[in-house]
Structure 1
């Protein structure tokens, strides 16, 4: 157990057991918190489920530019961007958040898929002057949400990033603005264990300490998907709206799967998209198939991400045939619990 996890346990954190060899323990809750409602604002949550890869060297940005779906070479120092890593068939192996540092480029993605993605990227470095390093053990990531987050962050970040995915750096680390969720601002703070442990008592005087579920739920409300082990190679980026949220640049040139991704964009109306839904169910996990009652024998899509909102309901992002979304859709089978579709914070537009 890391120093950070030991510290959190001392603060009353209830930790999950890792679900796989590569996954990390997640914070489930703090203290005697038995609330059936997942926090939506004014919280701070340790994001131990995320991993970080540092790409350093004079060719690092160029190398990644030729591997990922977004423009890395022209990424400015004061912003972060979403990006995908695709198979040659144009299917997403990973979704990630990237940003530049003085030393190179950082790639943030779920810890459970990080080792495999890092190993695959490393295979293609060849003669490029770029080195990929897992720096997760040296970093702590905190998710902060709500109107009180700005006040809580002020001692370390007097100026906050205003634009979505805007970034500021101080001696205390990196702060990135994330898309609003539940109509409140969200930030991610990437820092050292020492800084996080020092800051925690001050942060939790203003913000409620919460489990990672609060951050997951905010990502779902914001319509931001995350590829996990069970959904690797399931989706072309447009199937989970990745180009609508800034994760794909169609002018940057080649990368693995680029021709297929471009063809999906320019050859007519898309037939599959990602939608937000809620369901009253015992569980809903990524990779779970969904079914239209009009075609009960064939799945019409699958769950991309899901998180419980309270004891009865779960919010989820689902990839689905648009035609099926006009019918009643159920989780797990045509006899499963019904999905109730919700609005996304952005329109589902067709390619132009």
Structure 2
């Protein structure tokens, strides 16, 4: 799965910020552990949070859809105005440079992406526009992203005339776009992305009915939904199937070529998927349990068997994490953080089933 796609044009990697790359965004900050009442608000009532951990790229122009279709793992060419789609952006080696949520609003295609990757991914995509009639712009400064979870439909009905009933259905209105995203912990979730002034004017309609919570609660909900988010520490670490993108509908195996497509398809059809993403809890705090941290198996302490994809403080203590791991490591023994003698992971059940690997 590491063989380069010889037909793809080389391009600079998506890199972490450094002195030679001052335009790159700073790494995402570690968010403090939310109070127990914040988790309770989501699980028992309804809550909302402003999601500063995301950025938004707007793509305009007659060729916006066909251009993105040639770059991303999912079908953008046939993306309609009522649908949002998860997609990946891969390197020529088929490794994920970013995870994205895409949707249309008017004549624009929007891409929701981890804030720490927004600038680098936008720059890389722009390099491949060439003669296509497409232009990419950073819309993060003009938009506010709000996450809502729990019993929120009545409150949302005061902002939007219609509400999406199915996952990845979206509606547009004067307040922006409202997208239903996968449930987490048995609670419905929505993303509201709208112009800053419009969101600011309407947020008071939610404040009396819903509880404001930390964006760290949304990170935990994403993990409990089993939906990975590629951030700087894990750029180019995973073929999409390693983080269950095929199961989540983030890969269309019938569409045309995109960077890394040959390797992604080969992994799918030749039975070479020996690593998957699992859900686990581990003792500790986010300072120790972080994206990119290595995992070790009790029977093979000399080499890592996987790594953490995303992590978030859990309401019952410790940290919940999505972990990419060798399937064989789940068959017996124990898995530990950082070293074979490190804290042991307690594996939980994902909210969806994985295909049987041959």
Fold agreement, TM-score > 0.5:
yes
Number of the residue aligned with 1:317: 322
In structure 2, what is the Cα distance between the partners aligned to 1:346 and 1:176? 20
Paired residue secondary structure (2:167): coil
- 1:253-332 → structure 2 map (5 Å cutoff): 253-268=256-271, 270-282=273-285, 283-310=288-315, 312-326=317-331, 327-332=333-338
Contact 2:224/2:350 (<8 A) preserved: yes
Are residues 1:136 and 2:140 paired?
yes
Question: Displacement, 1:159?
Answer: 1.6
1:34–1:208 CA distance, 2 compared to 1 (3 A): same
Number of the residue aligned with 2:125: 121
Greater CA deviation, 136-145 or 94-103? 94-103
1:243–1:214 CA distance, 2 compared to 1 (3 A): same
Are residues 1:152 and 2:158 paired?
no
Instruction: Pick from 48, 55, 58 the counterpart of residue 52 of structure 2.
Output: 48
1:179–1:204 CA distance, 2 compared to 1 (3 A): same
Number of the residue aligned with 1:252: 255
In structure 1, what is the Cα distance between the partners aligned to 2:181 and 2:115? 19
Contact 2:297/2:305 (<8 A) preserved: yes
1:131–1:146 CA distance, 2 compared to 1 (3 A): same
In structure 2, what is the Cα distance between the partners aligned to 1:134 and 1:193? 14
Question: Displacement, 1:209?
Answer: 0.5
Contact 1:269/1:350 (<8 A) preserved: no
| Structure 1 gap ranges (5+) | 1-17
Instruction: Pick from 211, 219, 227 the counterpart of residue 208 of structure 1.
Output: 211
Number of the residue aligned with 1:174: 177
- 1:10-89 → structure 2 map (5 Å cutoff): 22-23=25-26, 34-35=35-36, 38-39=39-40, 40-41=42-43, 42-89=46-93
Number of the residue aligned with 1:183: 186
Q: How many residues align?
A: 332
Are residues 1:234 and 2:240 paired?
no
Question: Displacement, 1:191?
Answer: 1.1
In structure 1, what is the Cα distance between the partners aligned to 2:330 and 2:175? 46
Question: Displacement, 1:104?
Answer: 2.3
Question: Displacement, 1:182?
Answer: 0.8
In structure 2, what is the Cα distance between the partners aligned to 1:109 and 1:38? 24
In structure 2, what is the Cα distance between the partners aligned to 1:288 and 1:82? 25
Contact 1:24/1:49 (<8 A) preserved: no
| Cα RMSD (Å) | 2.2
Contact 2:165/2:180 (<8 A) preserved: yes
Number of the residue aligned with 2:224: 221
Question: Displacement, 1:28?
Answer: 5.2
Greater CA deviation, 326-335 or 197-206? 197-206
Contact 1:25/1:48 (<8 A) preserved: no
Contact 2:64/2:133 (<8 A) preserved: yes
Question: Displacement, 1:49?
Answer: 1.1
Are residues 1:337 and 2:343 paired?
yes
Alignment TM-score, normalising by the size of structure 2: 0.88
Task: Give a deviation string over 1:286-342, Cα, whole Å, max 9, x none.
Answer: 000001010001000000000001483110000000001122001111111110011
In structure 2, what is the Cα distance between the partners aligned to 1:325 and 1:29? 31
In structure 2, what is the Cα distance between the partners aligned to 1:34 and 1:266? 46
1:274–1:25 CA distance, 2 compared to 1 (3 A): closer
1:350–1:253 CA distance, 2 compared to 1 (3 A): farther
Greater CA deviation, 279-288 or 52-61? 279-288
Number of the residue aligned with 1:164: 167
Paired residue secondary structure (1:296): strand
Contact 1:26/1:47 (<8 A) preserved: no
Paired residue secondary structure (1:297): strand
